[in-house]
Amino acid sequence: MATLGNTKNTIEVLQKYNFNFQKKFGQNFLIDGNILDKIVDAAEITEEDCVLEIGPGIGTMTQYLAERARRVIAVEIDKNLIPILQDTLSSYNNVTVINEDILKVDINRIVEEQNGGRPIKVVANLPYYITTPIIMALFENHVALQSITIMVQKEVADRMQVGPGTKDYGALSLAVQYYAHPEIVVRVPASCFMPRPNVDSTVIRLTRYEKPPVEVEDEAYLFAVIRASFNQRRKTLVNGLTNAGNLGVSKEKIMEVLEQMGLPLTIRGETLTLEQFAELSNRLLEARG
The pLDDT of residue 40 is: 94
Residue 10 clears pLDDT 90, i.e. is over it: no
Residue 6 clears pLDDT 90, i.e. is over it: no
One DSSP character per residue, 216-265 reads -S-HHHHHHHHHHHHHTTTS-HHHHHHHHSSS---HHHHHHHHHHTT--T
Distance CA 130, CA 77 (A): 12
**Amino acid symbol at 174:** L
pTM metric for this prediction: 0.89
The pLDDT of residue 1 is: 57
| Residue 36 burial by Cβ neighbours in a 10 Å radius (0-12, 13-18, 19+) | buried
User: 125 vs 73, which has greater pLDDT?
Assistant: 73
> Helix crossing, 33-42 with 60-68: angle to 10°?
50
Instruction: Give per-residue pLDDT as tens, 232-285.
Output: 777 899 999 999 888 999 999 999 999 999 999 999 999 999 999 999 999 999
Instruction: Give per-residue pLDDT as tens, 30-41.
Output: 888 899 999 999
Structural domains for the chain: 7-208 (3.40.50.150), 219-288 (1.10.8.100)
Q: Would you tell me how many other CB atoms lie within 10 Å of the CB of residue 174? A: 26
Q: What percent of the chain has pLDDT over 90?
A: 73
Distance CA 283, CA 289 (A): 10
